[in-house]
Homo-oligomer: A and B are copies of this chain.
Amino acid sequence: MAGDKLCLAIDASGKLNAVSADDVKHFAEAGIRVLADSEIGPPHNADMFGRYAGDARVALAPTSTAQVSQVLSYCNERQIGVVVQGGNTGVPGGALCQRGEVLLCLSDMKKVRHVDPVAGVLVADAGCVLADLDDHVQQLGYIMPLDLGSRRRCMIGGNVSTSAGGLRYLRYGSMHGNVLGVEAVLPDGRILDALFTLKKDTSGYDVKQLFIGAEGTLGVVTAVAIALAPKPQATQLAVLGLGAFDKIEQAFVRARQGLGEILSAFEFWDRRCDEIVVESMHYPSLLKSAHEFYVLIETRGSLMRHDAEKMSAFLDALHADGLVDESCVLSAPDAMDAAWMFRSNMAAAHARRGCMYVYDFSLPSQHKPSLLGAVKGHLSSLGLYGAADSPVLDVTIFGHIGDDNIHLQVIAREFGGAVEAAIEPWIYSWVGSHGGSVAAEHGLGAHKGQFLKYSKSAAVIDTMKDLKRLLDPRGIMNPGKHICQA
């Protein structure tokens, strides 16, 4: 930043101080790279879908854990807010400055520290890009145990800090299981070396878990040790067209039996999602006919001949029992890439269609089928949806059926106003009262903390607040977001 600009660093509680020109001078003199004004543009001050705006005017790019420690120690002492940013691919605005905090960009911390080729464990700096890490470990016969649509931009520190889920959670599981160790800098600058690299450890409380999904509110994750998955020898996809939501769940139960250990993804989307991707992205639809619902199944195994036989038997049984109306199997790399591209760009396609409210819920099996109808009914009853000139253009769902995780999109002509007032907090209340989570894999970010009460008990929220106060007593980390709103 230019030396004479000052940020108005005021958090919700009014206790944080403004960053002064002297502070910036201090960082620069300490050898910490201060981003030039020209570098702090939309990549650092806007979310992917344009719902949140950031106001960062001071951004630092440390190159080491020691530098992160210096910054935090200094900011804690002076009670200056700090927002941590990795690839800035988060959906709910958690990595954006909104109160003039210092933005801490971790993109210059991108060293692979170590790979154990026998145990299958990677240790990497927080700023390593997920796809780069995957490329790196593939040469050694492994893959990263997670995959996201934003793989080419998101960073492993952010993946851990948001407890990222994604496309193959069904197979490889949660970051809480796969992350073996974390190196974090506490708000007071102390370096917490919990960078354990072994699979089993029951020596005391698993303190690294605190940082998995904390969205930068308890400290800065500077390095990660993660258990890798063996690289599959054979991959195939199947695309299904189905006539009703309940058939998706029946097909899923069948897939878990018939495809068993080779099942690696089970994604679904509805008819309107399919149309929006075709319209907005100009991709061809993956099936010949139109269907009420689509499913994308992936298998990853060690022998294609076996996997193809299992897939064939599975699909034959689905067709024989009338669960599926059309299907195709893809095994050519280009065709599989195209199918994943179709699925991965679903949110981006919606964002091109209009102003996107994107929600990310977990729901119990019995309530998943009702969500879409409930939202459409609610908006229709308020006169906001259903006519050619309605303020809401589309309501769609897609997601990860095996993870109980549904993404709901409401596409409006504009943000705010009657539409927003109609959806929130109504939608969070609906999800909470049906036993769901208001944030399945996107996190709380900039404004969902206030809706936490719909899905978490008071004792749980109190414990979260206690943890925040314990680790960040001055409230400098990602102030005003996440649990601060609850």
CA distance A256 to B204 in the complex (A): 30
A199 touches B404 (CB 8 A): yes
Q: Is A440 positioned at the interface, with any CB of B under 8 Å from its CB?
A: yes
Q: Mark A431-463, 1 if CB is under 8 A from B, else 0.
A: 000011111111110001100100111011101
Interface residues of A in 394-445 (CB under 8 A from B): 400, 402-405, 435-444
Q: Is A50 positioned at the interface, with any CB of B under 8 Å from its CB?
A: no
Interface residues of A in 94-127 (CB under 8 A from B): 116, 118-120
CA distance A154 to B152 in the complex (A): 45
Surface stretch bound by B, among A29-37, A207-215, A330-338, A342-350:
A207-215
> Given the complex, which residues of B lie within 8 Å of A440, measured CB to CB?
198, 200-202
A201 with B437, Cβ < 8 A, contacts A206-B212, A207-B464 known: yes
Q: Which of A200, A437, A441 counts the most chain B CB atoms within 10 A? A: A200
Q: Mark A108-151, 1 if CB is under 8 A from B, else 0.
A: 00000000101110000000000000000000010000000000
What is the count of identical protomers in the complex? 2
Residue of chain B at shortest CB distance from A442? B202
> Given the complex, which residues of B lie within 8 Å of A460, measured CB to CB?
192-194, 204, 207
Q: Is A45 positioned at the interface, with any CB of B under 8 Å from its CB?
A: no
Surface stretch bound by B, among A17-25, A70-78, A169-177, A287-295:
A169-177
A203 touches B463 (CB 8 A): no
Q: Is A322 positioned at the interface, with any CB of B under 8 Å from its CB?
A: no
Q: Is A89 positioned at the interface, with any CB of B under 8 Å from its CB?
A: no
Q: Is A44 positioned at the interface, with any CB of B under 8 Å from its CB?
A: no
A199 touches B257 (CB 8 A): no
Residue of chain B at shortest CB distance from A462? B190
Taking A200-B403, A205-B468, A262-B302 as given, write out 10 further A-B residue pairs in contact, using a Cβ cutoff of 8 Å, ordered by the A residue number.
A169-B199, A174-B176, A198-B435, A198-B440, A203-B448, A205-B463, A207-B467, A261-B262, A261-B300, A261-B301
A-B pairs with beta carbons under 8 Å apart, 30 shown = A116-B364, A119-B364, A119-B404, A163-B202, A165-B200, A176-B176, A186-B459, A186-B463, A190-B459, A192-B460, A198-B437, A199-B403, A199-B404, A200-B441, A202-B437, A202-B440, A202-B441, A204-B456, A205-B210, A205-B463, A205-B467, A205-B483, A206-B212, A207-B464, A258-B302, A261-B261, A261-B302, A302-B310, A303-B306, A306-B310
